[in-house]
Amino acid sequence: MTARPVFWLAAVLLATSCAMPPRAVPPEITAAADSAAPTPPCAALFPAGRWQFVHTIAFRTDQGEGTALGVVVLSQTEIRCALMTVEGLTLFEARAAGEAAPEVIRAIPPFDRPGFATGLMRDIRLIFRPPPGKAETGRLADGGPICRFTEADTVTDILPRQDGCWSIHAYTDRTWSRTIQARACRPIASAAIPGRLELTAGEPDGYSLTMQLVSAERLPAGD
């Protein structure tokens, strides 16, 4: 991997702090019969307990593209993440407890720029953690099921699919900000783990990430 594509990854993820122009608002939903207990159907899509995930990450913007290796370690109370070159050089490492701001352990320029750690951790939480906020279940106009989580000015929609995978659409101030598509889900240690994750963020600083699963390991209990 050359240095230039790696640096583009920093530019890509720094874009998570940028304002997005209006593109779409959350769709209207109708109440589901089981709305009294809305959280379990969609919360169960996220890995519970302690896990380690390794992905190859291919990223693309209008200005460049490249690849990196990403490692995420989840526990009940903490998220740890690292970005590395394919040769094994650690470019960035951080951890965060709960919803707290991340603590940066290692950051090689330009990964030490303000906003990078916060933006990266925000995307990781969106992928791997159940969304915060009030939950409700319902159906879209086409009849498809939906779980909606609302907190302050954010709305997160999770759309389960019949193939066992799902999509996530996130909105801020009723404006679409990013979409995640989970694909090729398969059972690993009693959890449905996507073999591929595709994240798309909005313009004008739009970017896309394609995360291909290398390994998913359920870790022993403990924190």
Of 193 and 60, more confident: 193
pLDDT band (50, 70, 90) for residue 36: very low
In a domain, residue 217? The reply is no
Query: Residue 50 in contact with residue 220, Cβ under 8 Å?
Result: yes
Retrieve residue 102's tokens.
């991340």
More confident residue, 10 or 55: 55
Q: Assess if residue 223 is contained within a domain.
A: no
Asked if residue 90 is part of any domain, the answer here is yes
How far apart, in whole angstroms, are the C-alpha atoms of residue 61 and residue 141?
33
Residue 103 has pLDDT above 90, yes or no: yes
Domain that includes residue 10, residue range: 3-17+26-212
Q: Is residue 60 pLDDT above 50, yes or no?
A: yes
Token pair belonging to 100: 């707290």
Give the chain's domain count.
1
Average pLDDT, the chain: 84
Specify whether the CB–CB gap between 63 and 207 falls below 8 A.
no
HSE of 163 in the Cβ direction (CA atoms, 13 Å)?
12
220 is a domain residue: no
Q: What's the CATH number where 206 sits?
A: 2.50.20
**Quick count: other Cβ atoms within 10 Å of Cβ 84?**
18
The CB-side HSE value for 119 (13 A sphere, CA atoms) comes to 21
Q: Provide the token pair at 152.
A: 């302050």
